[in-house]
Amino acid sequence: MLAWGNFSPVLLAYDPLLSRFVALKIQKSARDYAHAALHEIELLSAAAKGDPTNSKCVIQLLDHFKHAGPNGKHICLVTEFLGDSLLRLIRYNRNKGIGLSRVREICRSVLTGLDYMHRELGIIHTDLKPENVLLVSTINPSKDPVRSRLTPILKRPEGNQYRTPSISFSEKMLKTRARRAVAKILQRRVSLGGFTADMVKERSLDGISMKCKIVDFGNACWADQQGDGVIQTRQYRAPEVIIGSGYSYSADMWSFACIAFELATGDMLFAPSTCQSCSEDEDHLALMMETLGKMPKKIATSGTRSKDYFNRYGDLKRVKRMRFWPLERVLVERYGFTEPDAKGLADFLRPILDFDPENRPTAAECLKHAWLNN
């Protein structure tokens, strides 16, 4: 099992015709899921057609088919095998940040993929986050079927081909809960002074390729065929999406900037929560303004949901006190960046985090930024 999503598991498989390991995504059989899978196939097929050299940093769709099983008919997508996600990379390094040189390398790959999607294909990803960017290989070489020289088993298994797997879903859930419990105990010990957080040092990232690709087009859309509803995972959601003023490619750019900050620091840029006096959306908007300055009135009042959060003057209704802490100072004072490093990263990210979507640079423009090419 490579991944277990809400709508589909992703399995490691071997294609004897191509003599290569692949990823097999099996969609749930319900009609809505099947429709979503067909839409994803449409988008990925266009991406693969326009990238014959496989150099655009977007996952390659190799094949797709339908499979009839005991739970109905499933649409299956066959893609190239890739490695660990950026989220796993961040956690592997114990949320310490991976170093600016590695951040730059990853940013170049992600921006290359976004530029291809936006400028050449007309696709908005709408759910860009660390989980949806995969390294081209695994962090641990032994878990890479190619580098570890894994021998595929090509014989058909005997007996019932739909037999229950050796590890049940409930067992997996128990193991997941156990890992979370251990993590909480570790955090508790740090807070009680049993040992300091500084003792949990970064792991070595030497030898790990930072080349990566954008994956999971299940929520993506053509720019001229946008769906209804809220897009993006909460922590990477753009302000225009929250207030309901429409979105375009620039929403992906906002998510990209949040990812870049997280890679550099190990922490999410914005992690809102619900409190007694305000909603999660209001807390999210307040966190943005504490870091980026006050949202211009014309932007704050331009959305269909603006009146839920802002008064007619463009001030938040239920958040009265905010602590302004500019991005550059956050990097220096909270994360210990040197002044030059903090200024360089902030100069790169700040334009992408402009409250006005029309002012944000495109992926192509970001690729030319001086900080990225140091």
- Residue that has been written with the tokens 């759910």 in this structure: 127
Q: Is 15 a catalytic residue?
A: no
pTM of this prediction exceeds 0.75:
yes
Catalytically annotated residue among 32, 63, 84, 127: 127
Q: Are 31 and 41 in contact (CB under 8 A)?
A: no
pLDDT mean for each 10 residues of the chain (374 residues): 80 90 93 91 98 98 94 94 96 95 98 98 98 95 81 61 51 66 61 52 84 96 89 97 97 98 98 90 97 97 96 93 95 98 98 98 98 91
How many other C-beta atoms can be found within 10 angstroms of the C-beta atom of residue 73? 11
C-alpha distances (whole Å) from 82 to each of 21, 27, 57, 177 are 10, 19, 11, 26
Which residue ranges form the domains of the chain, and what is each CATH number?
1-81 (3.30.200.20), 82-144+168-373 (1.10.510.10)
Closest CA to 81 of 136, 42, 128, 151: 136
Measure the CA–CA gap between 182 and 297, rounded to whole angstroms.
Answer: 46
Q: Are 102 and 367 in contact (CB under 8 A)?
A: no
